[in-house]
């Protein structure tokens, strides 16, 4: 049961046809594999940009809308909770009705809602917009991962899923603060939201022409899809949920609060804050490229354990640093580990734990746990901690989450095809 989703797709006989959405050579067509990886990498990068540009724009928004730290945590956390819930819903719907029927409307939806964020007049309207936006992004997430997994050869699965997910921190947390702070030099935060929403509509149009459906969807789907209860039989599903919760609580505590920590506690200027904060995205980008690909070679479990150990130590070191070069480098390497774990757990670990035909549902369940608790509740708690005990105390939350992740990852089962073949 461990690898049957991608293997079934790879072994499926090509079916003649010329229409978009056809099932032709999934897992055996390198040209389709790299087209899908490229477009969904761009798409997931735009998810990151639309989601995280709010953190860099927040100091300007706070002045206009009279918002505080706790309300920033609520905005970030509510989007995460909606993302988690709709990861389950979107993943299940796409396994039943097809990738295209969820993927395309979701990317159109969150792109439009990013622009609508610029029309918000207060916390209530902004909160409503961000919740609906999170629902669309949550639906997009597991379906995009399943589509990449099905298009990939098993020995490239970790690498391809890492490439796809690496664009999230690159666009959202590395380029995002730079883009946001530069846009604020020439326009308002409202127009900045509008401008970052446009590219998603272009990617949606291209995906509509290219995406193919797996053999588990269609007239004979019951022959290719396991019963939904099978999702819970693999040990790595509940362990992946717990481990992702730990990684995400660290990631989102850092991503949401570090800009304000740098400006308000360490007294950096806005441009210095933008530079240091970009380390989150650049480190995350390289981590999501490197750790999943490394796990193809040496295994999922040792990479998970090493990532949590290193991440815990590096976040502590960051909390003790004060100079700009040290802050940048420590934040870069800490997020290299944290986002690399995110890519590993929601990508290869989830896909290889999935029963036949339920890779999107399995990914959605694992993503939901991390988003609802790590990406949703943790930022709300971090915002309250910052408001009542000081912004510097939010780094403790990241440390606790990553330290617990060390213990959880010790119990994971190895699933990397190359490692199992060697045994």
Q: Which two tokens stand for residue 17?
A: 């046809």
> 18, exposed or middle or buried, with CB in 10 Å at 0-12, 13-18, 19+?
exposed
Confidence band of 26 (pLDDT split at 50, 70, 90)? low
Reported as a single tens digit per residue, the pLDDT across 105-124 is 999 999 999 888 888 888 88
Phi-psi region of 13 (alpha: psi -120 to 50; beta: other; left: phi over 0): beta
pLDDT at 6: 38
Beta-carbon neighbour count of residue 205 at 10 Å? Answer: 12
Tens-place pLDDT, residues 249-280 = 788 777 777 888 898 889 888 788 878 988 88
Assigned token pair, 265: 């506690």
Residue range 176-181: mean pLDDT, rounded: 80
Short-list 423, 355, 415, CA closest to 8? 355
pLDDT, tens only, 58-68 = 878 888 888 88
pTM for this prediction: 0.76
Q: Compute the mean pLDDT over every residue in the chain, rounded to the nearest whole number.
A: 84
Tokens coding 153: 């050869």
Average pLDDT over residues 20-38: 70
Supply the pLDDT for residue 223.
Answer: 54
Q: Write down the architecture of domain 30-212+231-413 according to CATH.
A: Up-down Bundle (1.20)
Q: Provide the pLDDT confidence category of residue 1 given band limits of 50, 70 and 90.
A: very low
The mean-pLDDT minimum among 32-41, 203-212, 393-402 falls in: 393-402
pLDDT digits (tens, 9 = 90+) for 147-168: 998 898 888 888 999 899 889 8
Closest CA to 342 of 370, 384, 323: 370
Residues 224 and 84: their CA atoms lie apart, in Å, by 26
- The full set of domain ranges for the chain reads 30-212+231-413
* pLDDT level of residue 10 (50, 70, 90 thresholds): very low
> Six-digit token pair at 315?
């976040």
Average pLDDT in the 383-397 region?
A: 82
pLDDT at 11: 36
pLDDT(294) > 50? yes
What is the share, in percent, of the chain residues with pLDDT greater than 70?
A: 90
- What are the residues whose beta carbons fall under 8 Å from the beta carbon of 146, sequence distance 6 or more? 91, 94, 95, 99, 214, 351, 359, 360, 363
pLDDT of residue 15: 33
Q: What is the mean pLDDT of residues 21-41?
A: 75
Q: What pLDDT digit, counting tens, does each position of 300-350 carry?
A: 999 999 999 999 999 999 999 989 999 999 999 999 999 999 989 988 898
Whether 244 has a pLDDT exceeding 60, the answer reads yes
Q: Tell me the per-residue pLDDT of 184-237, one tens digit each, with 9 for 90 and over.
A: 888 888 888 888 889 999 999 999 999 988 776 654 555 566 677 788 888 999
Give the pLDDT of residue 174. Answer: 79
| pLDDT bucket at 144, cuts 50 / 70 / 90 | very high
Higher-pLDDT residue of 347, 373: 347
């Amino acid at each position: 049961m461990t690898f049957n989703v991608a293997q079934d797709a790879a072994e499926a006989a090509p079916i003649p046809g010329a229409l978009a959405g056809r099932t032709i050579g999934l897992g055996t067509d390198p040209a389709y594999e790299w087209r899908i990886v490229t477009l969904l990498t761009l798409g997931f990068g735009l998810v990151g940009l639309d989601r995280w540009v709010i953190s860099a724009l927040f100091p300007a928004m706070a002045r206009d809308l009279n918002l505080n730290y706790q309300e920033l945590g609520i905005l970030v956390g509510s989007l995460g909770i909606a993302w988690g819930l709709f990861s389950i819903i979107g993943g299940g719907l796409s396994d039943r009705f097809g990738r295209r029927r969820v993927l395309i409307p979701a990317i159109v939806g969150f792109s439009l809602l990013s622009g609508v964020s610029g029309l918000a007049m207060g916390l209530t309207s902004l909160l409503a917009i961000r919740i609906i936006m999170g629902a669309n992004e949550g639906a997009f997430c597991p379906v995009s991962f399943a589509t990449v997994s099905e298009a990939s050869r098993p020995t490239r699965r970790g690498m391809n899923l890492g490439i796809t997910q690496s664009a999230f921190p690159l666009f959202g947390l590395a380029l995002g603060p730079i883009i946001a702070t530069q846009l604020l030099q020439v326009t308002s935060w409202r127009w900045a939201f509008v401008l970052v929403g446009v590219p998603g509509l272009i990617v949606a149009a291209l995906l509509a022409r290219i995406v193919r459906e797996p053999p588990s969807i269609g007239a004979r789907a019951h022959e290719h899809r396991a019963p939904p209860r099978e999702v819970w039989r693999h040990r790595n599903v509940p362990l992946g949920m717990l481990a992702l919760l730990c990684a995400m609580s660290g990631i989102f505590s850092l991503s949401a609060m570090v800009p304000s920590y740098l400006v308000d506690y360490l007294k950096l200027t806005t441009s210095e804050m933008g530079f240091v904060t970009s380390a989150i995205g650049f480190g995350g980008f390289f981590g999501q490229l490197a750790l999943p690909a490394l796990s193809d070679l040496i295994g999922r479990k040792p990479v998970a354990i090493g990532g949590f150990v290193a991440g815990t130590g590096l976040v502590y070191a960051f909390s003790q640093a004060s100079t700009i070069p040290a802050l940048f480098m420590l934040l870069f390497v800490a997020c290299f580990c944290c986002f690399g774990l995110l890519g590993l757990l929601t990508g290869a670990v989830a896909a290889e734990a999935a029963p036949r035909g339920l890779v999107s549902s399995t990914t959605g369940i694992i993503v939901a746990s991390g988003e609802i608790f790590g990406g949703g509740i943790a930022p709300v708690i971090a915002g309250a901690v910052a408001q009542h005990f000081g912004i510097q105390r939010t780094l403790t939350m990241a440390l606790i989450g990553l330290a617990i992740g060390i213990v959880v990852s010790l119990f994971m089962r190895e699933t990397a095809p190359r490692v199992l073949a060697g045994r």
